[in-house]
Structure 1
Amino acid sequence: MTHIATTPGLFPLPDDAKEALSDLKGHQKGDLVSGDESADVSAVYDDVREELVAAQQDAGLDRIAEGQGRWDDMLAHPLTVHDNVSPGGIVRYYDNNNFYRDPVVEGELTFSGDLAADLEAAAELTDDLQAVAPGPYSLADLATDDHYGDEADFQAAVADFLAAELEAFPDGVETVFLLEPSLVENPPGDGADERASDAIDTVASAVDADVVAHPYWGALDEKVHAHLLDADVDAIGYDLVSNHDDNVYNVAEYGTKDSVALGVVDGQNTLVESPDTITERVDWFEGRVPNDFEDVYLTPNTGLFYLPVNRFEEKLQALGAATSDESVEEAEVEA
């Protein structure tokens, strides 16, 4: 079993970047609703990427996310920058008051390449690159369809769109986190749960990397979890911060993939977990399920953009320390 320290990306912008963007003719992060930002703005985001990658490397994380500094919307970004999508206003809410845009799909979801371009740049900075993308169920759930006309057809189109985006990822991508909070917050019903699994399968099958389907803000309904097990993903995420009991129940009762991602750090709370606390949460989970996992990804349960930059960095350090301490202990045993 290998413990891998990582994150689901979605990092806060460094303070100096916020100031620089504000100075550039009043540009703010929320103003980015297309992929055609100016050269000066692009240069700021290039610096942000380098800073976010360096912060993860300094913390000793095993997988390095690009950081999604350019993302105007923390889930719907691939649609909000698409030529055939109106980005919409900030009106979309989950029950826990997280805000997103309401992108309106007005034409065919053709290939964009926006995600791949950012990852190409990040691949120059690390050999342990992890990609982050919204899952097809959540992306379709957060969007409004004014083109395809049928819910099932729209979800399939979103899945095909994301599959093409992932297929263009650079060879250096080791892992892909597909973020699927809507599977918990707005779970699909009978029939739709199987379609959601098929959509995730379509996206995951498009990339030659380990794929993690990562729901969060709770636990999956039993039937949704069962269908997700049929998708061609390498690991499923379990949010032990929001609902550890039901997530353990799903795994103990119904099984899971050969690998898992465990949300053991609170991505929305400024209280910084100690490495010992992280290790205890992992041990608690592993002691209550019968599985012998190949890989266990240790991660915040959500993206970290909710946090002040200093707390974000401290949480990275705690994650890195949790697995580096473990590596030292293993080396001492082998010696």
Structure 2
Amino acid sequence: MTERIATTPGVFPLPDWAKDDLSDLKGHQKDDLISGDEGPELTAVYDTAREEVVSVQQDAGLDRIVEGQLRWDDMLAHPLTVHDSVETGGIVRYYDNNNFYRDPVVVDELTFDGDVAAELESTAELAADVQAVLPGPYSLADLATDEFYDDETEFLAAVADFLAGEVGAFPDIETLFLLEPSLVENPPGDGEDARASEAIDVVADATDAEVVVQPYFGSLDEKVHAHLLDADVDAVGYDLVSDHDGCLSNVNEYGTKDSVSLGLVDGQNTLVELPETVAERVDWFEENTPVNEFETVYLTTNTETFYLPYSKFEEKLNALAEAARLEEVKA
């Protein structure tokens, strides 16, 4: 029987109280913020907020607990914007929405950093069944500006090696989600699509955890999807909210991994889905794919949830967890 696991791709909205506290503190500590050194007062706020979002996930009954990425002001670009070999450039629109990030300009070799590993160490003290979240190598390279390697192929390989080094420092985790929206938003061309798959392999090989590659903001081009299936990962994600027909067509045309991750709940819309609706979307996917006996189906939001008001974010976590439990009751 297929196991249904309720989880998220992380990158949560801040609790309302934390937004207020951080706004006040950042106004007085702009130099710390720009350098990536938050200082003890900012760190204390983030630590307390992390404890809260971990507790919210546990109370909802999610099967995997993420750190929340509350410090990621630059969203998926964060692992680079805090790196010593990176200078932050101007403000750039984050894909096609009203969120922005500071352009990470790579000016020196991407050596080991350990920033994300430190976050996970703190999370592992609060929860079991921890799931790590990272930008995938293709998306992180796509969001950055390279002024050091001066070659697209070499730069992608360097980003993959950097991420693999970060993963190698992680504490024990159950799952690693690699977020790859650029595979949809700025799909790689001929040759580059194979290199993107190889870069994902490099990161995935750095952990014994289950690895899920989660594209979103639509469905993958057919050739990009086919190359992604060559990557040595455990599951590929499908954004059923943005393009369920395109995702279904890819699976039926090219197949998929033994496990899948389904974006079932809208991470950008405040309308809260009913658990029964979420469970029905999983049933629909399984009934309309030729290989419908998946080992695992991850139930998740289709995008990060930092777009949402905090109260709506909490409700959507509850909907995901309850949808997974509905299947257990039915069984």
Question: Which digits, 9 at most, give the CA deviation of each residue in 1:116-155, with x for residues without a partner?
Answer: 0000000011111011000000000010000001010000
SS of match in other structure, 1:328: helix
CA distance in 2, matches of 1:51, 1:197: 36
CA distance in 2, matches of 1:270, 1:27: 32
SS of match in other structure, 2:80: helix
CA distance in 2, matches of 1:33, 1:62: 35
Give the match for residue 20 of structure 2: 19
Q: 5+ unaligned residues in a row in structure 1: which ranges?
A: 331-335
Give the match for residue 48 of structure 1: 49
CA distance in 2, matches of 1:64, 1:29: 31
Superposed displacement of residue 97, structure 1: 4.7
Give the match for residue 72 of structure 2: 71
Q: 1:30 to 1:213 in 2, by over 3 A?
A: farther
SS of match in other structure, 1:242: helix
Q: 1:32 to 1:256 in 2, by over 3 A?
A: farther
Question: Which digits, 9 at most, give the CA deviation of each residue in 1:256-280, with x for residues without a partner?
Answer: 1110000000000000000011011
Give the match for residue 210 of structure 1: 210
Q: 1:31 to 1:281 in 2, by over 3 A?
A: farther
Give the match for residue 223 of structure 2: 223
Alpha carbons 2:176, 2:209 under 8 Å: kept: yes
Give the match for residue 38 of structure 2: 37
Give the match for residue 136 of structure 2: 135
Superposed displacement of residue 30, structure 1: 12
CA distance in 2, matches of 1:30, 1:55: 32
Alpha carbons 1:33, 1:80 under 8 Å: kept: no
* Greater shift in the superposed pair: 288-297 or 17-26: 17-26
CA distance in 1, matches of 2:167, 2:230: 20
CA distance in 1, matches of 2:31, 2:287: 43
SS of match in other structure, 1:42: helix
One-letter identity of the residue aligned with 1:262 = L
CA distance in 1, matches of 2:31, 2:327: 40
CA distance in 1, matches of 2:154, 2:328: 47
Alpha carbons 1:21, 1:29 under 8 Å: kept: no
CA distance in 2, matches of 1:258, 1:213: 13
SS of match in other structure, 1:103: strand
Q: Which runs of 4+ in 1 moved over 4 A?
A: 27-31
Alpha carbons 2:264, 2:302 under 8 Å: kept: yes
TM-score by length of structure 2 reads 0.96
CA distance in 2, matches of 1:8, 1:89: 26
Q: 1:43 to 1:97 in 2, by over 3 A?
A: closer
One-letter identity of the residue aligned with 1:223 = K
Q: 5+ unaligned residues in a row in structure 2: which ranges?
A: none
Superposed displacement of residue 326, structure 1: 2.1
Superposed displacement of residue 72, structure 1: 1.5
Alpha carbons 1:29, 1:70 under 8 Å: kept: no
Q: 1:283 to 1:25 in 2, by over 3 A?
A: closer
One-letter identity of the residue aligned with 1:225 = H
Give me the CA root mean square deviation. Answer: 1.5
TM-score by length of structure 1 reads 0.95
SS of match in other structure, 1:48: helix
Give the match for residue 87 of structure 1: 88
Q: Among all aligned residue pairs of Structure 1 and Structure 2, give the percentage whose two residues are the same amino acid.
A: 72
Alpha carbons 1:32, 1:71 under 8 Å: kept: no
CA distance in 2, matches of 1:71, 1:193: 27
Give the match for residue 333 of structure 1: none
CA distance in 1, matches of 2:30, 2:300: 25
Question: Which digits, 9 at most, give the CA deviation of each residue in 1:54-80, with x for residues without a partner?
Answer: 011111100011000111111100000
Give the match for residue 232 of structure 2: 232
Give the match for residue 309 of structure 1: 310
CA distance in 1, matches of 2:311, 2:96: 27
CA distance in 2, matches of 1:35, 1:273: 37
